[in-house]
Structure 1
């Protein structure tokens, strides 16, 4: 009996040891390797560089777009793209053209890094779930799946960096003639928190969430779908050795940016106007004559849409669209191509959806 008890105990101990070893192996599998960590870091760096380079290249147009979006309709200072840029140059000089770009880059670098990385992970996750369905075991990413992955990436990135976008908008709007100025992003964040509360940092968040779905989603979906089409059909000799040239990829990015921003632009206008509520010190919304009306207050996204259309007409929802279109075409194109080129230089796979 004693011998049998010993054998039973040995068997139990052996099972426990085996289970412990299996648990260690499972834990090792779950724990990311150094290669995986380096790959993630490289992907984040590539996304951040892409965002910083693309936004700096079009910073003057970005500032003019915001000024056009929020200017008081009773005191027009910026009547068009060329006139607006000339006016900023004449009144504020070169620094005026890039005002707010530092804050913009401080926001867009982490935003872009999170957005590209989130898209890669979301596309893998969505494709994995899609392949679990019967008959889809060998399925590839479709434009609709890419749209969903892009929407997820846009929401995650926008929500993570929204407070910086909010104060960046205010920094961009203020001029030397404003009665009160933020000294920088940190000062703006602390001032808004102190004077308007935490919720003020997320003014306009809802239209941003709704707008980011078609905007970022279409950017990724159109860009990748165009690339796939060109690689598979090889029209006009644009593709060599299953790789697209830089110029062709820039064209794909330009098309993607144009489609996305055209669909989502009205929501961007409403978001920007909601961000300005409670802050009446921007010169662009303070009129110089005694006849001007006070800036409108909005109780929410629907109210902002209604009042904008009622007081300024439907065209007001597309104020700043021309400079934004001129900006988006190179900006999105540069961002996609820079991201892929930096990943290639860092030794990470080039394809975004890989």
Structure 2
């Protein structure tokens, strides 16, 4: 007859076997250890979607991006680019198709990680801010308000811009080079190494402060307006823009992105102009690049952001802070719209269930 210890031992063995069998079954069904692997996969897919969105949107408007920068920094006494259409025609005539896309490779090398970090940072910042907001209000069903979305977007913009700023700085210098200017930079890595060697590591962050100040309303309103517009359309369902499943069409999402881009870039544009001008400080060939054929010299010596604002307005007028705004508006509206929609479409393709608005 079996002893009580033998019985207990047998029951323990049976329990262990049952537990192992249950764990094996759950593992086959994808339940055990799903959360960590799912989280990593979701993060990677989100980063990929953000990178693709940035690359597609910027390449589509690369000619307008280059023209905007040339208008921002050109010598007011030797105008070569006088408006959007004339400027694009001049680049086409003097530099050909390659001239329209000059600097785009460097721009994509910057914007792909920038966009990936920005979209992902917005998602994480939104979750963190919403959690704090729900705790503060004591309402677990509370949703993000437009102001909170603006804050999350600003945080995302600052993080992404700071992480990739050196690439933006050298991209600006490469972009203003023309066929008639002395070619100091042969590419992004050559530009980075040259700036480090000749001007020091701090030079890679010239213009960072106005960029931070400018990116707060720019990224904040981009995300805030886009998400708030989508939320309002889904709840109110005006003009039949939302179907029964509360899904917005691609056209409607593009329109939301266009509105967001228009508001954000208009508020932030003066800081973008000052950033570009500060990035040229210390570049030995900047004067010849910006003056063209025998034009007068441009004052490129700024002691800081406030000094750059003051000298620009004093010598060129308040309108100089909005140089290149027209091609930038033509560029930003489709660019931001494409970025948001591409991001959501790619996440759908990759099978990521959570969207930025969720």
TM-score by length of 2: 0.88
Q: Does the Cα contact within 8 Å between 1:74 and 1:287 map onto a contact in 2?
A: no
Q: Does the Cα contact within 8 Å between 2:278 and 2:300 map onto a contact in 1?
A: no
Match of 1:263 in 2: 267
Alpha-carbon distance between aligned partners in 2 of 1:330 and 1:263, rounded to the nearest angstrom: 17
Query: Secondary structure of 1:244's partner?
Result: coil
Alpha-carbon distance between aligned partners in 2 of 1:289 and 1:52, rounded to the nearest angstrom: 37
Alpha-carbon distance between aligned partners in 1 of 2:87 and 2:134, rounded to the nearest angstrom: 51
Q: What pairs up with 1:87-98 in 2 under 5 angstroms?
A: 87-98=90-101
Q: Does the Cα contact within 8 Å between 1:122 and 1:149 map onto a contact in 2?
A: yes
Match of 1:323 in 2: 327
Match of 1:339 in 2: 343
Match of 2:83 in 1: 80
Match of 1:245 in 2: 249
Structure 1 residues 131-140 or 215-224, which shifts more? 131-140
TM-score by length of 1: 0.89
Q: Give unmatched runs, 5+ long, in structure 2.
A: 1-31
**Is the alpha carbon distance of 1:30 and 1:134 closer, same or farther for their aligned partners in structure 2, counting shifts above 3 Å?**
farther
Q: Does the Cα contact within 8 Å between 2:280 and 2:300 map onto a contact in 1?
A: no
Moved over 2 A (4+): 29-32, 134-138, 286-290, 293-296
Alpha-carbon distance between aligned partners in 2 of 1:180 and 1:325, rounded to the nearest angstrom: 29
Verify: 1:289 aligned to 2:294, yes or no: yes
Match of 1:60 in 2: 63
**Is the alpha carbon distance of 1:264 and 1:76 closer, same or farther for their aligned partners in structure 2, counting shifts above 3 Å?**
same
Query: Secondary structure of 1:130's partner?
Result: helix
Structure 1 residues 64-73 or 344-353, which shifts more? 344-353
Structure 1 residues 169-178 or 267-276, which shifts more? 169-178
- The CA RMSD over aligned residues, in Å, is 1.6
- The equivalent position to 2:54 in structure 1, one of 28, 51, 55, is 51
Match of 1:17 in 2: none
Verify: 1:308 aligned to 2:343, yes or no: no
Q: Give unmatched runs, 5+ long, in structure 1.
A: 1-28
Alpha-carbon distance between aligned partners in 1 of 2:34 and 2:195, rounded to the nearest angstrom: 41
Verify: 1:229 aligned to 2:232, yes or no: yes
**How far did residue 175 of structure 1 move?**
1.2
**How far did residue 121 of structure 1 move?**
0.1
Query: Secondary structure of 1:188's partner?
Result: helix
Structure 1 residues 274-283 or 62-71, which shifts more? 274-283
Verify: 1:151 aligned to 2:164, yes or no: no
